Amino acid sequence: MNLADLNPPCALVDLDRMERNCARMADKISRLGASLRPHVKTHKCAEIAKIQTRGGSGGITVSTMAEARAFAAAGFGDITYAVPVPFPRIGEASDLIKTGVRLNLVLDSEAALRELEACGKAQGVKFPVFLKVDCGYHRAGVDPSREESAALAATLVSSPNVEFRGLLTHAGHAYRSRNREEAAETARQEREAVVHFAEKLRMAGTRIPEVSVGSTPTMTACKSLDGVTEARPGNYAFFDAFQVAIGSCSVQDVAFSVLATIIGSYPERSGFLVDAGALALSKDPGPVHMDPDCGFGLIFSEDGCRYYPTLKLGALTQEHGQIRVNEPLAARDFPLGARLRILPNHSCLAAACFDRYYIHRSGEVVDEWKPVRGW
The domains found in the chain, sorted by start residue, are 32-237 (3.20.20.10), 251-369 (2.40.37.20)
Q: Looking at residues 151-171, what average pLDDT do you find?
A: 97
Query: What pLDDT is attached to residue 57?
Result: 64
Task: Cite the DSSP H helix spans in 204-288.
Answer: 216-221, 241-245, 278-281
Predicted confidence band at 58 (pLDDT cuts at 50, 70, 90)? Answer: confident
The yes-or-no verdict on residue 330 having pLDDT over 80 is: no
pLDDT at 3: 93
Identify the pLDDT of residue 269: 81
Q: 164-176: per-residue pLDDT in tens?
A: 999 999 999 999 9
How far is CA 116 from each of CA 142, 159, 175, 247, rounded to the nearest angstrom? 18, 10, 32, 41
- pLDDT tens, residue by residue, 137-148: 999 999 999 999
In the predicted structure, residue 314 carries a pLDDT above the cut 60: yes
Nearest CA to 322 out of 354, 302, 295, 343 is that of 295
* Closest-CA residue to 344 (of 218, 243, 217): 243
Crossing angle (nearest 10°) for helices 65-73 and 90-98: 10
Spell out the residues 6+ positions from residue 360 whose beta carbon is closer than 8 angstroms to its own.
Answer: 3, 12, 13, 14, 15, 366
Q: Which of 266, 267, 272, 262 is nearest to 301 (CA)?
A: 262
Report how far Cα 124 is from the mean position of its chain's Cα atoms.
Answer: 33
> How far is Cα 152 from Cα 169, in angstroms, rounded to an integer?
16
d(CA 290, CA 245): 8
Alpha helices in the chain (DSSP H): 15-31, 46-52, 65-73, 90-98, 110-123, 147-158, 180-203, 216-221, 241-245, 278-281, 347-351
- Work out the average pLDDT over 54-74: 92
Give 327's pLDDT tier (boundaries 50, 70, 90): confident
| pLDDT at position 53 over 70 | yes
Cα angle vertex 294, ends 255, 284, to 5°? 65
What pLDDT does residue 104 have? 98
pLDDT at 54 over 90: no
Helix, strand or coil, per DSSP, at residue 348: helix
Q: Which amino acid is at 331?
A: A
> What is the residue-averaged pLDDT of the chain?
96
Sheet holding 162-169, edge to edge: 35-36, 230-231, 210-213, 162-169, 127-133, 102-107, 78-84, 60-62
CA 128 – CA 147 distance, rounded (Å): 23
Residue among 255, 304, 231, 303 nearest 35 (CA): 231
Q: Are 225 and 32 in contact (CB under 8 A)?
A: yes
One-letter identity of residue 47: E
Note if the bond before 9 is cis, omega within 30 degrees. yes
What whole-number percentage of the chain has pLDDT above 70? 98
Summarize the confidence of residues 322-327 as an average pLDDT.
Answer: 87
In the structure, what pLDDT confidence band is assigned to residue 270 with cuts at 50, 70 and 90? confident
Residue in 196, 113, 116, 127 with CA at minimum distance from that of residue 155: 113
Which pLDDT score, from 0 to 100, does residue 28 have?
A: 97
pLDDT in tens, 18-45: 999 999 999 999 999 999 999 999 999 9
* pLDDT exceeds cutoff 60 at 331: no
